[in-house]
Chains A and B, each alone.
Chain A
Amino acid sequence: NAGVTQTPKFQVLKTGQSMTLQCAQDMNHNSMYWYRQDPGMGLRLIYYSASEGTTDKGEVPNGYNVSRLNKREFSLRLESAAPSQTSVYFCASSEAKGWNIQYFGAGTRLSVL
């Protein structure tokens, strides 16, 4: 029962470097999400994909891009990392957007120096 799998678990980048965070779910869910978690601020939605083939901005999209590669996979890309993007990133999925339980991956701890 893998659920939602995120890679990598940890990453250190230098300012200006790029990287892609990978996320895959095996629950046949339609909707997928990327959040960032910062101390005292809870989880904030970066981007989401309500269904395969669609993506939409969340609360804090600046500096990020996403790709819904297929129904299982949803990746988050940082084109030019900045120290302000140091955070813990979580991917989640749900059967549909809105009033549906979201299931979370274990997170990626990213530090940008």
Chain B
Amino acid sequence: SQELEQSPQSLIVQEGKNLTINCTSSKTLYGLYWYKQKYGEGLIFLMMLQKGGEEKSHEKITAKLDEKKQQSSLHITASQPSHAGIYLCGAVYNYGQNFVFGPGTRLSVLP
């Protein structure tokens, strides 16, 4: 079974709308990364969260990690076509351990 779940699996929104993508772990995380992938390209690092309750923002994207360090959300404000792609969360459960990735959320933004 997947250690990391993401919801929704896919999302279609109209340009200008806000949206949220969730990443849920079955156990407490050491820390979490968010990546974005465009078709035919590799993963681009967005943000990393390590402390419970931490929140980070970059341009119109805000990521949060809950206090229990088992759930993270990625919120996009006033979405644009350039936000389209696959968003993946990746977790580390211990400092020296390898990443575990979620299955991804495919986002389409209609102009």
Contacts and interface: CB of A to CB of B under 8 A. Distances in A.
Contact of A101 (B33, B88, B98): B33
Contacts, number: 60
B42 A58 contact: no
A102 interface: yes
- Chain B contact residues: helix, strand, loop or mixed: loop
A45 B98 contact: yes
Contacts of A42: 2, 4, 88, 101-104
Contacts of B30: 99
Given A90-B42, A107-B40, A107-B41, A102 B99 contact: yes
A74 interface: no
Interface stretch (B52-60, B64-72, B89-97): B89-97
A87 to B, nearest CB: 14
Nearest to A38: B103
Given A98-B94, A99-B30, A99-B92, A45 B99 contact: yes
Interface of B: 2, 4, 9, 30-31, 33, 35, 40-45, 48, 50, 88, 90, 92, 94-99, 101-104
